[in-house]
Amino acid sequence: MASVANINDVLEGHVTLEIECVDRLYLNAYVPNLQVGGQVVRFLCGHLGNEIPSTALFQRIGNRFRREVSAFATAHKIPVLRLKKPDRSRWDDRKLDHVRPYLERAEREGRFGVVAIVACQEFQWVIGARNRAALGKAVSLDFFKEERRVGIYYFYILDPDFGPGFIKLCTYAPWPGKVWLNGHEWVKRQALRDGLAFTALSNGFAGCPDPRRLQALCDSFGPHHVQAFFDRWILGIPTPLTAEDRGAGYWWELSMRQVEISRTLVLDAPRRARAFFEALVADNIGIGRPEEVSIVFARQVRKTTRESFGTRVFSTGTDVRIDFHYKHSRVKQYLKDGRALRVETVINKPADLGVLARLHHLPELINKARAVNHRLLMIEKAGQSCAIGSALFERIHQPHHEGQRTGALRFGDKRAIALAGALCHVLHAVTGFTNKSLRGLVAGHLGQDYSTSQMSYDLRRLRLHGLIQRLPHSNTYQLTPDGIRVAVFYTKLQNRLLRPLLDADKPPAKAELRHALATLDQAVHDYTAAARLMPASQS
């Protein structure tokens, strides 16, 4: 029989470099005190000194901004690219394709600054107004936000610290913006500055003689570097807000719109990477089930949860990419340049991981996204090479443990198997599980009612056998390492070995397996007959 690829065997001893790093960053730039109607009136009348608040005043500011952009581009000989109506799908990447030649030329020349400006129109949430006065009465405007297609400028920048990036500004109030950067590019430039040699991937690292030092550079990246980039360039480009506006407190602050955190494992040969995905697809394609996605993201999913989940497996030639999502976020797992395994958590809304969106919460988001990457590989690896030793097997089959009498967890017992299956759903949930959250899963596996007292009894025997532990000062539990192994071993032994083998003499079992069993059955029959042990014939 051909050997079966195993994730643990593929990774063990064949990873030449493992690096965790912030990848792409996409940030919102917003003016905090220009978000509601009262703030708009205060800005137009209290700050700018107008007697009547009107949207026409915003139009004047927008026209001035456009003139200043045109003059700035002319003075610095910066090309202005005017693109047609965008296709919302992959719009940012398409713009980058137009700008890439200018960025590459500036890189070759060692010229930093704004290298191109893209002018286009996009839908944005901007300030609108309606007259709330009755007919014949004096105009009284009510300001609110609405989505409209307005003018946008993208200032593409080559920065000495970050390399390529852009600042995007809207021409209409409240002048929302975006900032795009790449953490890998920042680390590459810091490594070159510090004299640290490395081999680059298209967006990452393929090799480094000092991995610890490289990882330390990745770990040093923080919100102050992002803020420094924004502060440096927002003062160097035309903006709708002036220095007087900034002095009065009307200026942009940054929040996280999309953050990508990657874990890259460079393998010593491309065939290792292909073998990894062969094993992954064969054994862990169920990772996209809602229960298991919630495990990866450390979120509990109940029947009442109305969030979208999904798993997609993309195949192009021999390359495989697994892409699954939870709420607004997703995890990608794919081959990078055919030689590295990339696990990438993409957070499109920090609240998905219980993190606030302001930029200074970036370190917390990085830590939680890294935990997602780690949990994903742990879950996949736990699904393979999970056989337990005889000592552990015998221990959990005993009706007592450490002097206390408790129920044994015998393999084959319907309730024990249901309990193991339920525990597989909560393997690495860092938030733990409770009597209530686990009880529904056990009942589902049993296919019958399962009471709170039964769950309490089972939790006690799991705890006494050392398979779970109670978190301090709570009624929440976590699986121990032994518990993880027992839950996966029992479940796989039952569902993937014994059940298929018991039905192996009937289709849809493989033909070669059925033929082998028939041969074995005939051999036993012949041996029994030769020994004169056959039962007397019934006539």
Q: Compute CA 30 distance to the chain's CA centroid, rounded to the nearest angstrom.
A: 25
Q: What is the pLDDT of residue 479?
A: 80
| Helix or strand holding residue 469 (H, E) | strand 468-470
Residue 163 has pLDDT above 90, yes or no: yes
Q: What is the pLDDT of residue 91?
A: 43
Predicted confidence band of residue 404 (pLDDT cuts 50, 70, 90): confident
Q: Is-contact 191 217, C-beta < 8 A?
A: yes
Q: Is-contact 479 468, C-beta < 8 A?
A: yes
Structure tokens at 26: 């996409």
Predicted confidence band of residue 390 (pLDDT cuts 50, 70, 90): low
Q: Is-contact 252 359, C-beta < 8 A?
A: no
Q: What is the pLDDT of residue 466?
A: 86
Q: What is the pLDDT of residue 169?
A: 97
Q: What is the pLDDT of residue 490?
A: 77
Residue 304 has pLDDT above 50, yes or no: no
Q: What is the pLDDT of residue 503?
A: 60
d(CA 477, CA 465): 14
Mean pLDDT in the chain?
A: 81
Average pLDDT over residues 128-146: 80
Query: In sequence order, what are the beta bridge partners of 474?
Result: none
Sketch the domain layout of the chain as residue ranges. Answer: 1-26+182-220+253-385, 32-174+227-251, 390-500, 503-530
Residue 527 has pLDDT above 90, yes or no: no
Residue 65 has pLDDT above 90, yes or no: yes
Predicted confidence band of residue 348 (pLDDT cuts 50, 70, 90): very high
DSSP 3-state assignment of 212?
helix
CATH architecture of 390-500: Orthogonal Bundle (1.10)
Residue 9 has pLDDT above 70, yes or no: no
Q: What percent of the chain has pLDDT over 90?
A: 43
Residue type at 313 in one-letter notation: V
Q: What is the pLDDT of residue 89?
A: 43
Residue 295 has pLDDT above 60, yes or no: no
Residue 352 has pLDDT above 70, yes or no: yes
Top mean pLDDT of 112-116, 132-136, 337-341, 448-452 is at 112-116
Average pLDDT over residues 277-297: 52
Q: What is the pLDDT of residue 164?
A: 95
Residues 501-526: pLDDT tens digits? 656 555 555 666 666 667 766 776 77
Residue 119 has pLDDT above 90, yes or no: yes
Residue 303 has pLDDT above 90, yes or no: no
Q: What is the pLDDT of residue 301?
A: 45
Structure tokens at 341: 């395994």
Residue ranges of the alpha helices (H) in 301-399? 362-382, 390-396
Lowest mean pLDDT of 59-63, 195-199, 470-474, name the range. Answer: 470-474
Residue 54 has pLDDT above 90, yes or no: no
Residue 170 has pLDDT above 80, yes or no: yes
Predicted confidence band of residue 402 (pLDDT cuts 50, 70, 90): low
Answer with the residue of higher pLDDT: 118 or 307.
Answer: 118
d(CA 377, CA 370): 11
Q: What is the pLDDT of residue 289?
A: 44
Predicted confidence band of residue 317 (pLDDT cuts 50, 70, 90): very low
Answer with the residue of higher pLDDT: 384 or 247.
Answer: 247
DSSP result, 168-233:
EEESSTT--EEEEEEHHHHHHHHHHHHT---EEETTEEEE-S-HHHHHHHHHH--HHHHHHHHHHH
Lowest mean pLDDT of 14-18, 94-98, 267-271, 469-473, name the range. Answer: 267-271
Top mean pLDDT of 109-118, 134-143, 435-444 is at 109-118
Strand bridging mode 404-405 / 468-470: unpaired
d(CA 423, CA 33): 49
Query: In sequence order, what are the beta bridge partners of 167?
Result: 155, 179
Q: What is the pLDDT of residue 42?
A: 93
Q: What is the pLDDT of residue 444?
A: 85
Q: What is the pLDDT of residue 268?
A: 84
Residue 497 has pLDDT above 80, yes or no: no
Q: What is the pLDDT of residue 283?
A: 55
| Helix or strand holding residue 76 (H, E) | helix 55-76
Strand bridging mode 80-82 / 113-131: parallel
Lowest mean pLDDT of 172-181, 192-201, 268-277, 354-363, name the range. Answer: 268-277
Residue 130 has pLDDT above 50, yes or no: yes
Predicted confidence band of residue 481 (pLDDT cuts 50, 70, 90): confident
* Residue 219: burial class (beta carbons within 10 Å; 0-12, 13-18, 19+): middle
- CA distances from residue 276 to 3, 14, 21, 296 in whole angstroms, order as listed: 14, 11, 22, 19
Residue 302 has pLDDT above 90, yes or no: no
Average pLDDT over residues 91-104: 80
Residue 307 has pLDDT above 70, yes or no: no
